[in-house]
């Protein structure tokens, strides 16, 4: 007979061995994911980080000399002749413009996307899939081509202007193209599916009996939306906003084509530094600052969410 104490030691050794085996299995399963993130995420990011602290090469690339000039350049302008620094808001304006446009895009996507997602979620299951399929159709075509299509619609001889002139509402073409409006519209068009899909996923899980319970307890349609549907789909709304805001902050095809390069966005600025301007360290620095800003706002959101008792149930 084994002593009880010995038996329990034996048992706990077995339990520990089993846990270790399970842990190893888990790491084994995670390995491809970790490797991918490392190769296509962390490594390029490290290169960008290193480059931002170097000097630009004459024909692009970098020269291996430590320099903080790329970051200084964001806020200060260097005089060409005497190398003195003076404060400039040029790049801050670009940041501000990009953030405003990003926020506008997010809000517009939310206003259009939420009702769309709600509509799809309340369809019978068979028809839901058809609607979701339609939502994903734009993904079949390259963003560049879709943006050119938008350009054809908005230009002076485009569908909108020509038909408005035809029915006599206007005499001359409206200046639609190459405006902030055009850029906003293009961004909303490009990122709308990223808003619709996560909100749909949240609403699909929503128990519509709760909506009935709301009506039963004297809540009008608007109150039910505000007090029940929106709080319960908050995880989807948050995910959608993040998925739209982040890429629209860094977008460069849409602003370049539909904004006509008149008003620079961060994405275009970065693109420019790696292209014509041949200032890779500056481009890297802008990219990193943008990333840090996004991460800080996400952290702020998470802390706000945590204080409010965590993202709502979904």
Residue closer to another protein by CB (options 81, 304) is: 304
The reply on whether position 226 binds another protein by CB under 8 A is: no
Question: Among residues 31, 40, 220, 292, which is the contact residue for another protein, using CB under 8 A?
Answer: 220
Question: Considering only 2-10, 36-44, 185-193, 219-227, which stretch makes contact with another protein by CB under 8 A?
Answer: 219-227
What CA–CA distance (Å, rounded) separates 270 from 88? 18
The one among 83, 133, 209, 307 contacting another protein by CB under 8 A: 209
Pick the binder of another protein from 18, 90, 93, 212 (CB under 8 A). Answer: 212
Q: Does 213 bind another protein (CB under 8 A)?
A: yes
In the list 45, 112, 173, 219, the residue contacting another protein (rule: CB under 8 A) is 219
> What's the CA gap between 211 and 121, in Å, rounded?
13
93 lines the binding site for another protein (CB under 8 A): no
In terms of CB distance, is 144 or 217 closer to another protein?
217
CB-nearer residue toward another protein: 217 or 300: 217
CB closer to another protein out of 18 and 207: 207
Residue 227 found at the interface with another protein (CB under 8 A): yes
- Phi and psi for 68 in degrees, rounded to 5? -105, 10
Q: Which of 64, 140, 218, 304 binds another protein (CB under 8 A)?
A: 218
Q: Which of 144, 210, 299, 302 binds another protein (CB under 8 A)?
A: 210
Compute the half-sphere exposure of residue 33: CA atoms within 13 Å on the CB side of its CA: 5
Q: How far is CA 14 from CA 2, 5, 9, 26, in A?
A: 16, 14, 9, 18
Report how far residue 91's alpha carbon sits from residue 95's, in angstroms, rounded to the nearest whole number. Answer: 6
In order of 230, 258, 295, 298, the CA distances from 242 in angstroms are 17, 23, 11, 8
Options 74, 291, 294, 312; binder of another protein; rule CB under 8 A? 312
- Could you say which DSSP state residue 237 is in? H
Question: Which residues 230-249 are close enough to bind another protein by CB under 8 A?
Answer: 231-232
The burial of 1, by beta-carbon neighbours within 10 Å (0-12 exposed, 13-18 middle, 19 or more buried), is given as: exposed
Q: Whole-number minimum distance, CB 234 to another protein, in Å?
A: 8
Instruction: Give the single-character DSSP code of 83.
Output: -
Residues 6+ apart with CB under 8 A from 45: none
* 183 vs 229, beta carbon nearer another protein: 229
Owner of token pair 């739209």: 244
From 142-150, 167-175, 205-213, 260-268, give the range in contact with another protein by CB under 8 A: 205-213
Q: Collapse the DSSP code of 49 into the 3-class scheme (helix H, G, I; strand E, B; otherwise coil) and give the result.
A: helix
Query: Which residues form the interface with another protein (CB under 8 A)?
Result: 207, 209-210, 212-220, 223, 227-228, 231-232, 312-313
């Amino acid at each position: 007979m084994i002593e009880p104490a010995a038996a329990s030691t034996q048992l706990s050794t077995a339990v520990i061995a089993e846990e270790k085996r399970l842990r190893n299995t888990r790491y084994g399963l995670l390995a491809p994911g970790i490797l991918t993130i490392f190769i296509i995420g962390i490594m390029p990011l490290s290169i960008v980080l290193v480059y931002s602290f170097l000097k630009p090469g004459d024909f692009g690339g970098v020269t291996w000399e430590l320099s903080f000039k790329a970051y200084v350049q964001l806020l200060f302008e260097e005089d060409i002749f005497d190398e003195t620094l003076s404060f400039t808001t040029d790049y801050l304006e670009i940041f501000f413009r990009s953030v405003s446009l990003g926020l506008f895009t997010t809000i517009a996507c939310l206003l259009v996307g939420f009702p769309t997602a709600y509509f799809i979620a309340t369809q019978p299951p068979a028809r839901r899939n058809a609607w979701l399929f339609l939502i994903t159709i734009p993904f079949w075509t390259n963003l560049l081509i879709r943006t050119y299509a938008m350009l054809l619609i908005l230009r002076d001889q485009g569908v909108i202007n020509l038909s408005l002139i035809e029915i006599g509402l206007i005499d001359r073409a409206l200046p639609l193209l190459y405006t902030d409006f055009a850029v906003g519209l293009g961004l909303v068009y490009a990122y709308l599916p990223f808003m619709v899909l996560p909100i749909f996923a949240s609403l699909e899980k929503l128990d519509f009996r709760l909506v009935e319970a709301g009506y039963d307890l004297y809540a009008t349609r608007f109150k039910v939306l505000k007090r029940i549907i929106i709080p319960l789909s908050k995880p989807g709304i948050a995910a959608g906003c993040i998925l739209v805001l982040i890429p629209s902050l860094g977008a460069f095809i849409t602003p370049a084509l539909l904004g006509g390069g008149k008003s620079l966005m961060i994405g275009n600025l970065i693109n420019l530094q790696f292209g014509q301007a041949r200032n890779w360290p500056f481009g890297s620095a802008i990219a990193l600052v943008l990333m840090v800003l996004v991460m800080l706002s996400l952290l702020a959101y998470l802390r706000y969410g945590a204080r409010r008792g965590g993202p709502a149930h979904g």
